Amino acid sequence: MLLNELPERVVEWKEALAQQACRWREGVWEAGRLPEVQGRLVLLAERLSKQALARSLQVLDDAGVRVELSAVDVVAGRELASLRLSAWSPELKTALQQVATNWDLACVPALPDAGSPGLVLMDMDSTAIQIECIDEIAALAGVGEEVAAVTRAAMEGALPFSESLRRRVRALAGADAAIIDEVIGRMPLMPGLTELVAGLKAMGWKVAIASGGFVPFARHLQQQLGLDAVFANTLGIENGKLTGEVLGAIVDADAKANILTELAHEHGIPLTQTVAIGDGANDLKMLARAGLGVALHAKPLVQEQAPVCLNRLSLEGVLGLLQAR
């Protein structure tokens, strides 16, 4: 079937293509499968148009990559198309990203198998929730601008995370510890978080948080969502006041990557079956170690280095990636 004969919305291709695998060959979709697969491409959008496929296919044709359309679907209210590729390279991923205007994509060597046990480990601030908790505490403590500037530098990789965290926490010395509960009471979840966790639990996957933020916020999310584990930093508190110190080892980039490995080992899950999600420089090592690393609305440095970037969809897009295979 010619591309121009298919409906404008890709999700409607199911019926048109008789719900079978189709190869893209000389400008025509024909029944058949690729004999060898070296990569996967998933396109995602709130409404996925034929334009997204057409532009992507042009990039693949120019690179001499053969394509099989293996599925179109709707997951968590978002539309996706899943393609198997005869070749994969970082350059191919970059070229596809350059033509993506109003859709997200993942171009990777392989995807985790949703039908087998797996693990998702995510950052908390600006990933699982929409705020940076330390910035909110600082604003209520009267040092908001000072702390927010250091937060931005840390997330962009301009400051070592541990140094930046200790500097920010020192600025909170003497603040009333009751501020923590005030921030928890108005902590907004990231869109798609509840759908993602519910979907992962339905798949039998483990879900955890590794945060450079603080324990009370992570534990609140654990209780609210039924997360399997949370890891975060401990704020010093004496006589109802913040001491300006972080107690114990800091959950930094190395710690997050190690937590991923340790949790996977604890549950008998291979690293190929792990997903890491984050937005800042402190998450890059975790994203690189996971079977699938996803940057969510990330800072520029992370956009450049992350295996997959979601910029238009939110956390529900991660569930789409896992269901795409």
Asked if pLDDT for residue 18 goes beyond 70, the answer is no
- Contact 33/23 with Cβ under 8 angstroms? yes
DSSP assignment, residue 190? Answer: P
Residues ≥6 apart with Cβ < 8 Å to 49: 8, 9, 10, 102, 103
240: exposed, middle or buried (C-beta count within 10 Å: 0-12, 13-18, 19+)? exposed
pLDDT of residue 90: 94
- Contact 47/109 with Cβ under 8 angstroms? no
Rounded Cα distance between 108 and 293, Å, is: 10
* Confidence class for position 241, pLDDT limits 50, 70, 90: very high
Tokens (6 digits) for 166: 């200790």
Closest CA to 212 of 151, 138, 301: 151
Torsion of CA 165, 253, 149, 132, to 10 degrees: -80
pLDDT of residue 154: 83
Rounded Cα distance between 200 and 290, Å, is: 16
pLDDT of residue 2: 84
| Segment 57-106, tens digit of pLDDT | 999 999 999 999 999 999 999 999 999 999 999 999 999 999 999 999 99
Local structure of 62: helix, strand or coil? helix
Asked if pLDDT for residue 25 goes beyond 90, the answer is no
DSSP assignment, residue 64? Answer: T
Q: Which residues carry out catalysis?
A: 123, 125
pLDDT of residue 182: 97
Which amino acid is present at 73? D
